[in-house]
A and B are shown apart, each in its own frame.
Chain A
Amino acid sequence: MDAERALVKSPPRPDVVIDDPPRMNLLGLILGDIMQRGLERPENQRRFAGLVPASVVVRAGEMAVTLRFEEQRLVVQRGAAERPRAQVAGALDELMALSLGGGMVGPWLAGRLKTRGSLLLLLRLRPLLQV
């Protein structure tokens, strides 16, 4: 019964698709892998459904990737898309701290993390970026 309920309540796990892996940068590969693992958790699958459709640009150091939240899949693309709904940028170690469970507000207030666009979207995205 519990299993049936879980099936009803949890949408199918979205696929994580790395666009053109041989040309993807390290940031995209790291984020793709983190989100792949994150999306194994049912609660994140529900969160994912709430993010579709959207595109978010993540910048670390001099690397940039765009995360496209589409129906049943997340596409990771190299570079920054034009007019994303949200952007987050910071040093690689700041973003990694975020993925390891660090807070977003403190680094943001200190100027170590910079955001643009929908802050609400970024806050909803945060659990998916955490390991």
Chain B
Amino acid sequence: MDDKTLRELFEPLVGVEAVIGPEQAAAFNEYASDYTEEEPRRPGLVLQPTTTEQVQAVVRAAREAGVSLTPRVSGSNVGGLAIPPTGGVVLDLRRMNRIIDVQVDDMYALIEPGVTWEQLKAHLEQADIPLRMGYPLSPPDTSIVANCLLDGLGNLSMRYGAMADWIGGLEVVLPDGQIARTGAPALSDRWFGRSPLPDLTGMFVSMQGRTGVVTKMAFQLWPAPAHRRRTFILMYDRNGAFQAMRGLARYQICDDVGGLSWTTGKMLFGVERPAERDPGEPEFFLYLDLSGASARELDLRLEILDDYLDGLRAQGFKAEKPLDIETLVRLNPRFGKLADFPTRLEFLVDHPGGGLSWVGTYGPMSRFEAFGDAGFAIMERYGMPPTLVSRPMKGAHFGVMRFITTFDKSSAEERRLVREMSAEIIDAGLELGFIPYKTPPWVVRRIRERLDPGFVELMRRVLGAVSPERTLSPHCWPLDD
């Protein structure tokens, strides 16, 4: 369908001010690509609805006209999910950004998909609400709903699991335009959780928009202890860091235990592409969040941490004393980027080359060492700095291993190398039982032969039943093409 016909179809449904077409080149072209090596695809039109009713109307019209719709908010997905098929319509939900309600006693916020991390944080602070949320490492202006629906993670995920676990219920516009509620709000006026009805919320988690457009979501919040401490520990051996992550997760004294490889420290200081590690310098930085309802509780947790580190050193692992983030910031304001979340890490998203790609996986923590070895070896072979972010999830029942690459997007050779390298890391992870999350379409094609055949068949049936016309995000979860 040509641009003019698309505009004639959709403009009356959302209003002229909510349509971005090719004549608004600068704004329009942003929708054609993301940070990654994924090739750009030109959309046909961009719509920015403001109400659920408008979303319904657009979905119905797109279905009747056979036009694809790709939902997105900030477009910061690192896997091409938000890039529409060529000529498709982008459903940009950023203007649906109301914080509808915050239930302090039941600890959730009812929000629209355009609500960002910084927006909800500011709202909680301004209203003096004693609740907190977990933040991903994505920029502050990205969508909470998108991260939950894609089952991302945040700095409370060690304690409370991946972010789809934090959903308290959904309002969804289905591919035929019908509205459905899942989770508690299917029966209750309080959006308290995905339980206890059949968990249809799962039909919209990690489905990448194939099954519906979420227009409201309850986002679970957590108590904010009065006393908090963020501290960093420099470890001279990454396997020691992995052991510490597992051990500290089981001690249950921390809200969060995360790890960053040595390259991130240098990138924070403006070194765009660290070339090699000084054999004498730390290989991994652990960052820990601890909290307590009282100063005494926090002090006790810190004391236990010191005991744990002494034990680790007794096993031969070298670890520096914990360094408080406040100390680090006084020493160098650059560390302020890690002091308060959400944060924008310019060295990842605003560097001159502009490219950012990753292999993000969830998998067994018992195999962190093996995957770390394999991933680092592959990245070094490709001449890329071995940047890794890892964290225990849900009390260390599993963990995240995320290999990150920054690169020069203008170089076709670099884009090719990044894709080739990522494929190798994914294969290495699959061999060890690690599963890619926010799975990009090219990765789905790579893993589909390995998937359980029954799972694939069930996915086909679900997608076929809910969205037989494949109107929504048809490029995602390509199980058959």
Chain A residues with a Cβ under 8 A of chain B: 21-27, 29-30, 33-34, 61-64, 78-79, 91-93, 96, 99-100, 131
Interface pick from B111-119, B274-282, B417-425: B274-282
How long is the Cα–Cα vector from A23 to B269 in the complex, in angstroms?
A: 13
B295 within 8 A of A: no
How long is the Cα–Cα vector from A61 to B271 in the complex, in angstroms?
A: 22
How long is the Cα–Cα vector from A96 to B335 in the complex, in angstroms?
A: 14
Decide: B282 and A61 in contact? CB cutoff 8 A. Answer: yes
B331 within 8 A of A: yes
Decide: A33 and B266 in contact? CB cutoff 8 A. Answer: no
Decide: A100 and B236 in contact? CB cutoff 8 A. Answer: no
How long is the Cα–Cα vector from A117 to B234 in the complex, in angstroms?
A: 29
Q: Given that A63-B278, A63-B281 are known contacts, is A26 also in contact with B265, CB under 8 Å in the complex?
A: yes
Contact with A along B259-296 (1 / 0, CB 8 A): 00010011001110111111111100000000000000
> Which residue on B lies nearest to A92, using beta carbons?
B320
Using Cβ atoms and an 8 Å threshold, which residues of chain A touch B281? 25-27, 61-63
Contacts A26-B269, A100-B330 known; 17 new A-B pairs at CB < 8 A? A21-B271, A22-B271, A22-B275, A23-B274, A25-B280, A26-B281, A26-B282, A29-B269, A33-B332, A33-B334, A61-B236, A61-B281, A61-B320, A62-B279, A62-B281, A64-B280, A92-B323
Q: Number of B residues contacting the other chain (C-beta, 8 Å)?
A: 27
Q: Given that A25-B278, A27-B281, A78-B278 are known contacts, is A131 also in contact with B321, CB under 8 Å in the complex?
A: no
List, sorted by A's number, 27 A–B pairs whose CB atoms are closer than 8 Å: A21-B270, A22-B273, A22-B274, A22-B275, A23-B276, A25-B278, A25-B280, A26-B262, A26-B265, A26-B266, A26-B269, A27-B281, A29-B265, A30-B331, A34-B331, A61-B280, A61-B281, A61-B318, A62-B280, A78-B278, A92-B323, A93-B320, A93-B323, A99-B331, A100-B327, A100-B330, A131-B330
| B399 CB to nearest chain A CB (Å) | 25
Residue among B277, B279, B331, B334 making CB contact with A96, cutoff 8 Å: B331
How long is the Cα–Cα vector from A131 to B330 in the complex, in angstroms?
A: 8
Decide: A100 and B321 in contact? CB cutoff 8 A. Answer: no
Using Cβ atoms and an 8 Å threshold, which residues of chain B touch A63? 278, 280-281
- Consensus secondary structure, chain A interface: helix
Decide: B331 and A100 in contact? CB cutoff 8 A. Answer: yes
Using Cβ atoms and an 8 Å threshold, which residues of chain B touch A25? 277-278, 280-281
- Consensus secondary structure, chain B interface: loop
Using Cβ atoms and an 8 Å threshold, which residues of chain B touch A79? 278
How long is the Cα–Cα vector from A100 to B332 in the complex, in angstroms?
A: 10
| B342 CB to nearest chain A CB (Å) | 24
Q: Given that A22-B274, A61-B280, A62-B236 are known contacts, is A131 also in contact with B320, CB under 8 Å in the complex?
A: no
How long is the Cα–Cα vector from A61 to B237 in the complex, in angstroms?
A: 13
Using Cβ atoms and an 8 Å threshold, which residues of chain B touch A22? 266, 271, 273-276
> Which residue on B lies nearest to A93, using beta carbons?
B321
- Taking each of A25, A79, A131, which has the highest tally of chain B beta carbons within 10 Å of its own beta carbon? A25
| B172 CB to nearest chain A CB (Å) | 47
Decide: B330 and A23 in contact? CB cutoff 8 A. Answer: no
Decide: B320 and A34 in contact? CB cutoff 8 A. Answer: no
Report B321-339 residues with CB < 8 Å from chain A CB: 321, 323, 327, 330-332, 334
| B278 CB to nearest chain A CB (Å) | 4
Decide: A23 and B278 in contact? CB cutoff 8 A. Answer: yes
How long is the Cα–Cα vector from A93 to B236 in the complex, in angstroms?
A: 15
How long is the Cα–Cα vector from A3 to B266 in the complex, in angstroms?
A: 38
Q: Given that A22-B271, A23-B275 are known contacts, is A30 also in contact with B332, CB under 8 Å in the complex?
A: yes
How long is the Cα–Cα vector from A14 to B469 in the complex, in angstroms?
A: 67
| B318 CB to nearest chain A CB (Å) | 8
Using Cβ atoms and an 8 Å threshold, which residues of chain A touch B320? 61, 91-93
How long is the Cα–Cα vector from A91 to B327 in the complex, in angstroms?
A: 15
How long is the Cα–Cα vector from A23 to B323 in the complex, in angstroms?
A: 24
Contact with A along B306-321 (1 / 0, CB 8 A): 0000000000001011
